[in-house]
A and B are shown apart, each in its own frame.
Chain A
Amino acid sequence: MEVPIRATGLLGFTFFSLLFFVCTSSPLHSLFISNAERRIDATSHIVKVYLTLKVENAGSTPTSEVLLAFPPTQVDHLATVEVLVTKGKRKKTTLVRLDVKPTELPDAPDGAKYFTIFLANPLNSGESTTLEVLYLFTHSLEPFPAEIGQSESQLVHYRDSALILSPYHIKQQTSFIKTPSRKVESFTRVEPTNHAGTEIKYGPYEDRPPYSFSPILIHFENNSPFPVVEELVREVEISHWGNLQVTEQYTLVHGGARHKGVFSRVDFQSRPTLSGASSLRHLLARLPPRVHSVYYRDEIGNISSSHLRTDSRKSELEIEPRYPLFGGWKATFVIGYGLPLQDFLFESSDDRRYLNFTFGCPLLETVVDKLTVKVVLPEGSKDPSAVVPFPVDQHLETKYSYLDVVGRTVVVMEKKNLVPVQNSHFQVYYTFKPIFMLAEPLMLASAFFLFFVACVAYLHIDLSIRK
Chain B
Amino acid sequence: MPILPNMPVLDLVKSFKLKTKQQELLIRVSILCLVYVLAFITRLFSVLRYESMIHEFDPYFNYRTTLYLTQNGFYDFWNWFDYESWYPLGRIVGGTLYPGLMVTAALIYRILHFLRFAVHIREVCVLTAPSVAGSYDNEGVAIFALLFTFYLFVKAVNTGSLAWSLASAFGYFYMVSAWGGYVFIINLIPLYVLVLLITGRYSMRLYVAYNCMYVLGMLLAMQIRFVGFQHVQSGEHMAAMGVFFLLQVFYFLDWVKHMLSDTKLFQAFLRITVTCAVAVGAIALGLGMLSGYISPWTGRFYSLLDPTYAKDHIPIIASVSEHQPTAWSSFMFDFHILLFLFPAGLYFCFKRLSDATIFIVMYGLTSMYFAGVMVRLILVATPAVCLVSAIAVSATVKNLTVLLRSKNKGVQTGSTKGSSSSKASSKALLDQSQPFQKNGAIALLFGAFYLLSKYATHCTWVTSEAYSSPSIVLAARGAHGSRVIFDDYREAYFWLRQNTPPDAKVMSWWDYGYQITAMGNRTVIVDNNTWNNTHIATVGRAMSSYEDEAIEIMRSLDVDYVLVVFGGVTGYSSDDINKFLWMVRIGGGVFPVIKEPDYLVNGEYRVDKGAAPKMLNCLMYKLCYYRFGEMLTEYGKPPGYDRARGVEIGNKDIKLEHLEEAFTTSNWIVRIYKVKPPNNRW
Contact = CB atoms under 8 A, between A and B. Distances in A.
Interface string A314-354: 00000000110000111110000000000000000000000
A301 B53 contact: yes
B311 to A, nearest CB: 36
Interface residues of A, number: 27
Contacts of A303: 487
A204 B61 CA distance: 68
A17 interface: no
Contacts of A304: 485, 487
Interface stretch (B297-305, B350-358, B491-499): B491-499
Most buried by A among B487, B494, B627, B660: B494
B495 A266 contact: no
B493 A401 contact: no
Given A323-B665, A331-B498, A404 B490 contact: no
A322 B491 contact: yes
B663 interface: yes
Contacts of A402: 116-118
A301 B46 CA distance: 14
A253 to B, nearest CB: 9
Given A322-B491, A323-B494, A401-B118, 15 more contacts: A263-B662, A264-B664, A265-B666, A266-B627, A270-B630, A298-B494, A299-B497, A300-B490, A302-B51, A304-B485, A322-B490, A323-B665, A328-B499, A330-B498, A400-B116
A403 B51 contact: no
A192 interface: no
11 contacts: A263-B663, A264-B627, A298-B494, A299-B497, A302-B51, A304-B487, A322-B490, A323-B491, A323-B495, A329-B499, A401-B118
Contacts of B495: 322-323, 329
B493 A300 contact: yes
Nearest to B498: A330
Most buried by B among A266, A331, A402, A405: A266
Interface in B634-682: 660-666, 668
A interface, over-half SS: loop
Interface of A: 261-266, 270, 298-304, 322-323, 328-332, 400-405
A322 B487 contact: yes
Nearest to B673: A262
Contacts of B117: 402-403
Interface in B463-516: 485, 487, 490-491, 493-495, 497-499
B631 interface: yes
B630 A266 contact: yes
B568 to A, nearest CB: 13
Nearest to A447: B115
Given A264-B661, A302-B51, A322 B116 contact: no
A262 B660 contact: yes
Interface of B: 51, 53, 116-118, 485, 487, 490-491, 493-495, 497-499, 519, 627, 630-631, 660-666, 668
A332 B493 contact: no
Contacts of A331: 494, 498
Contact of B660 (A261, A265, A404): A261
A400 B114 CA distance: 11
Contacts of A299: 497
A322 B494 contact: yes
Contacts of B519: 300
A200 B662 CA distance: 39
A263 B491 CA distance: 14
A329 to B, nearest CB: 5
B490 to A, nearest CB: 5
B627 A405 contact: no
Given A266-B627, A402-B118, A403-B116, A300 B494 contact: yes
Nearest to B569: A265
A266 B660 CA distance: 14
A400 B113 CA distance: 10
A303 B660 CA distance: 28
A329 B118 contact: no
Contacts of B630: 266, 270
A35 to B, nearest CB: 50
A278 to B, nearest CB: 16
A265 B485 contact: no
Contact of B663 (A266, A300, A323): A323
A265 B668 contact: yes
